[in-house]
Structure 1
């Protein structure tokens, strides 16, 4: 992994030197690598809201549900650092009475948001159900991810580099020219109107699959992680 990090760091240094295409004859190519993985963690964003004309009553009800939810999260082995309970939000709600032309006070709406990072993904369906039972009223969104995302990305960058090299050789052979040397490389597209050459088969040949620890009855599908590299080669 140290070798991968050093190689990627050196490529970033090279990309900072040259950010445009050269005047000399050249090839501009894109390398691409993808992988599909099953998620092994879920970031769950939920909330509780309560409406009552008595502010203290609404606050106490919301705090009570939030306390249950936090206790529940810990029972699912969610660490304190992965539990983020937001502060109270209080809104004074009114409605317009057309008959009296006055604003009528309807009550206070009190809300609190909670974000949980579940690292035992097989418990996700059960956790959702128990959050509902505890009184959580809003499920904003869930983001599925993999814990070794950085490691996978670094490996994909190396595959993308190999793909870019193959693309350059393929393009040079088709035009019957010889590659001289590497001019620049970057992990983001150059700010130029030219579109880089991308091998159409590369996305498929680089597509791998890794199985994850996820309950089949509640499968959200695979996550696609990809990496691109953009290289400019001088030709002769």
Structure 2
């Protein structure tokens, strides 16, 4: 059994080495990784929240939730926000129970409506949060920062990663008293932009304040350069 294991391991190592060798040229070369990271201020943000009410019956619960939504819409319009940017899902109803004297007893009907608002001016986020809290929207969920045109920033970061790979390759070649030739291969996979959020909250605020948010874009490119004879 030990002999079989050794043979199998030897075959695996041989196959792995052969696969790696197939991706590299037979002539002198340099393999480098170019990296770039840029931080961009987001220009759009989506806020998810819920209107919730619990009443004795479903009709009253739904009515209370609808009133909350109408209050939010009215306040948005008064404050200069576009009502059309508010997305509203259907109202969800479910019974709520409590154990009273060890007996499961229905205590009401809970109505929930999921909502989200796409805000194109990030500077107005705190004002929007204030509106939601003042209108009894206490269940504020995810705040998703993004870019309206992320592709242009990804291209910029990618070009920086390419320049980084060239600089590294040229530096290595010079150190070994050689010179770069043509590019043999390029391996590139794009990465999604990730938000970096910083949250600040003052004692006299009724809603959290989100400031200094950035979108981090990372790009990496792996390149094999041939060396001139």
TM-score (norm. length: structure 2): 0.70
Question: Residue 97 and residue 28 in structure 1: after superposition, are their counterparts in 2 closer, same or farther (change >3 A)?
Answer: farther
Question: Residue 133 and residue 234 in structure 1: after superposition, are their counterparts in 2 closer, same or farther (change >3 A)?
Answer: same
Question: Residue 167 and residue 112 in structure 1: after superposition, are their counterparts in 2 closer, same or farther (change >3 A)?
Answer: same
- In structure 1, the residue matched to 2:59 is 56
Distance in 2 (CA, whole Å) between partners of 1:98 and 1:46 is 35
Contact 2:44 2:145 in 1 (8 A): yes
CA positional deviation for 1:93: 1.8
RMSD: 2.6
Question: Residue 176 and residue 79 in structure 1: after superposition, are their counterparts in 2 closer, same or farther (change >3 A)?
Answer: farther
Higher strand share: 2
For residue 219 of structure 1, the aligned residue among 192, 211, 217 is: 211
For residue 49 of structure 2, the aligned residue among 46, 49, 53 is: 46
CA positional deviation for 1:23: 5.3
- In structure 1, the residue matched to 2:80 is 76
Question: Residue 78 and residue 30 in structure 1: after superposition, are their counterparts in 2 closer, same or farther (change >3 A)?
Answer: farther
Unaligned runs of 5+ in 2: 1-21, 191-208
- In structure 2, the residue matched to 1:232 is 224
Distance in 1 (CA, whole Å) between partners of 2:130 and 2:67 is 18
Distance in 1 (CA, whole Å) between partners of 2:139 and 2:123 is 22
- In structure 2, the residue matched to 1:22 is 24
Unaligned runs of 5+ in 1: 1-19, 190-216
CA positional deviation for 1:71: 3.8
Instruction: Pick the structure with greater CA Rg.
Output: 2
Distance in 1 (CA, whole Å) between partners of 2:128 and 2:227 is 59
Contact 1:188 1:230 in 2 (8 A): no
Distance in 1 (CA, whole Å) between partners of 2:31 and 2:83 is 48
Question: Residue 106 and residue 117 in structure 1: after superposition, are their counterparts in 2 closer, same or farther (change >3 A)?
Answer: same
- What pairs up with 1:129-168 in 2 under 5 angstroms? 129-168=130-169
Give per-residue Cα distances to partners, 1:73-103, cap 9 Å, x unaligned: 45533362x321111122222233454xx32
For residue 93 of structure 1, the aligned residue among 76, 91, 96 is: 96
Distance in 2 (CA, whole Å) between partners of 1:96 and 1:27 is 71
CA positional deviation for 1:45: 1.0
Question: Residue 141 and residue 174 in structure 1: after superposition, are their counterparts in 2 closer, same or farther (change >3 A)?
Answer: same
Contact 1:73 1:116 in 2 (8 A): no
- Look up the SS of the partner of 1:222 in the other structure: strand
